[in-house]
């Protein structure tokens, strides 16, 4: 990856800080005094950050993290429910769309680059759903994870049920979702809910970014779409999507760069992403 100066937003007091350092975008929850609890403004800022990154063809990965001692302790009910009319607008959606509470997490799955959550401290409720909608989750061993909705008499939501059901066997998911049981980051990794537990999850995440950055940004974007696009489809739809994406890769400029470098046994130097 090429390096560049880190760019920082003008408003460092935002609930979400987005910085770009070379080819990596860092999206940081910035409410450390609230353990990065998510309120309605945080939802808006997270969606805005993802929308901005969607248009950036130079970045190769996104790191989602929380400032301070916690990744995210969940939804900040006290703050969010001060405006009940706004909550209602965010919750209710048409039958063919997602609501805004779901959109804030689903949007990270739609980005054409790998999204990696770096978890420390608390990863509860809405925070766990945000992490689960990242493509990878690196955590400290002593972090605490919980599908916390059971404590409030609720079911998992905010788009978390889709990745939860992909990552966990049904009985494990039901146990965690029915009890709100708290588990360590190490246990989350053992169950497959986290990708890896590490003493330094950010370093582990960036090591993965370095590996991925050695491959064509177009094939990486197409692979992400292929994996998510075929999780629940039938065979015909799966194979159709596979053919369509491979056809796009045959035509991509970065594919030619990869093929030429591979033949010459050289390190490829890719151009900007052209897919996704």
pLDDT (tens digit per residue) in 103-122: 999 999 999 999 999 999 99
The pLDDT score that the predictor gives to residue 4 is: 38
Please work out, in degrees rounded to the nearest 5, the angle formed at the alpha carbon of residue 259 by the alpha carbons of 257 and 260.
Answer: 65
* Mean pLDDT, residues 218-233 taken together: 91
175 and 204 in a single domain? The answer is yes
State which residues form the domain around 205.
Answer: 16-212
* Mean pLDDT, residues 173-200 taken together: 97
Taking the C-alpha atoms of residue 203 and residue 200, their distance in angstroms, rounded to an integer, is 6
Return the percentage of the chain with pLDDT > 70, whole number.
94
Residues whose CB is less than 8 angstroms from the CB of residue 65 and which lie 6 or more positions away in sequence, other chains included: 26, 27, 28, 29, 71, 117, 118, 202
Q: How many domains does the chain have?
A: 2
Confidence of residue 275 (pLDDT cuts 50, 70, 90): confident
206 and 224 in a single domain? The answer is no
* Mean pLDDT, residues 130-148 taken together: 97
pLDDT (tens digit per residue) in 150-186: 888 888 989 888 999 999 999 999 999 999 999 999 9
The pLDDT score that the predictor gives to residue 5 is: 37
* Mean pLDDT, residues 74-92 taken together: 90
201 and 228 in a single domain? The answer is no
Residue 3 included in any domain = no
pLDDT at 241 > cutoff 90: no
Average pLDDT, the chain: 91
25 and 141 in a single domain? The answer is yes
Identify the sign of the CA torsion 37, 87, 136, 22: negative
Q: What is the CATH number of the domain that holds 78?
A: 3.90.226.10
Identify the sign of the CA torsion 111, 113, 114, 117: negative
Alpha carbon 124 to its chain centroid, in Å, reads 15
153 and 238 in a single domain? The answer is no
Q: Do 57 and 107 meet the contact criterion of CB atoms below 8 Å apart?
A: no
The pLDDT score that the predictor gives to residue 250 is: 79
The pLDDT score that the predictor gives to residue 98 is: 84
Taking the C-alpha atoms of residue 256 and residue 275, their distance in angstroms, rounded to an integer, is 14
pLDDT at 149 > cutoff 60: yes
């Amino acid at each position: 990856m090429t390096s560049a100066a880190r760019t920082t937003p003008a408003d460092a007091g935002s609930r979400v800080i987005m910085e770009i350092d070379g080819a990596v975008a860092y999206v940081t929850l910035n409410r450390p005094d609230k353990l990065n609890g998510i309120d309605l403004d945080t939802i808006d800022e997270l969606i805005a950050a993802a929308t901005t990154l969607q248009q950036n063809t130079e970045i190769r990965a996104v790191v989602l993290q929380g400032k301070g001692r916690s990744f995210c302790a969940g939804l900040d009910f006290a703050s969010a429910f001060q405006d009940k009319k706004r909550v209602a607008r965010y919750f209710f959606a048409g039958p063919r769309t997602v609501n805004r509470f779901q959109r804030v997490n689903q949007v990270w799955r739609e980005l054409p680059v790998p999204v990696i959550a770096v978890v420390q401290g608390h990863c509860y409720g809405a925070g766990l759903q945000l992490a689960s909608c990242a493509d990878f989750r690196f955590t400290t061993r002593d972090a605490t994870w919980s599908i916390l909705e059971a404590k409030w008499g609720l079911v998992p939501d905010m788009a978390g049920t889709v990745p939860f059901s992909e990552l966990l066997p049904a009985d494990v998911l039901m146990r965690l979702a029915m009890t709100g049981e708290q588990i360590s980051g190490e246990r989350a990794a053992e169950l497959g809910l986290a990708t890896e537990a590490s003493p330094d999850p950010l370093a582990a995440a960036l090591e993965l970014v370095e590996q991925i950055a050695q491959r064509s940004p177009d094939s990486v974007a197409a692979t992400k779409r292929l994996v998510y696009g075929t999780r629940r489809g039938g065979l015909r739809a799966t194979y159709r999507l596979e053919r369509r994406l491979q056809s796009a890769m045959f035509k991509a400029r970065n594919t030619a760069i990869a093929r030429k470098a591979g033949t010459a046994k050289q390190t490829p130097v890719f151009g900007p992403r052209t897919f996704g």
